[in-house]
Amino acid sequence: MKTFEYEILSFPMDRKTGLIEMQATLNAKGQIGWDVVSVSSSEYANIGHTAFLKREIVGQTS
């Protein structure tokens, strides 16, 4: 059976470069095997986003 690990990242959108930084961070995580499974935005505009990532744990059996 496949097993996974998870990571949660928060991205404040208080700078003009917020989305560019978010994209760069998620691309870097993707290069090391992380996959974005969901993104949640704040109820209030431009406060921020939270990204939920997962990646398979290779070589571990349950």
* Most distant pair of Cα atoms in the chain: their distance: 45
Q: Closest Cα to residue 49, out of 59, 38, 60?
A: 38
Query: What residues make up the domain containing 49?
Result: 4-56
Q: pTM of the entire structure?
A: 0.80
Sorted by sequence, the CB contacts under 8 Å of residue 21 that are 6+ apart come out as: 11, 15
Supply the DSSP string of 4-17, one letter for each residue.
EEEEEEEEE--STT
Give the residue ranges of the chain where pLDDT is below 50.
none
Kindly report the average pLDDT of the chain as a whole number: 87
pLDDT for the residue 51: 93
| Residue 23 included in any domain | yes
Closest to 38 (Cα-Cα) out of 25, 22, 54, 14: 54
Count of domains observed in the chain: 1
* Residue 61 is assigned to a structural domain of this protein: no
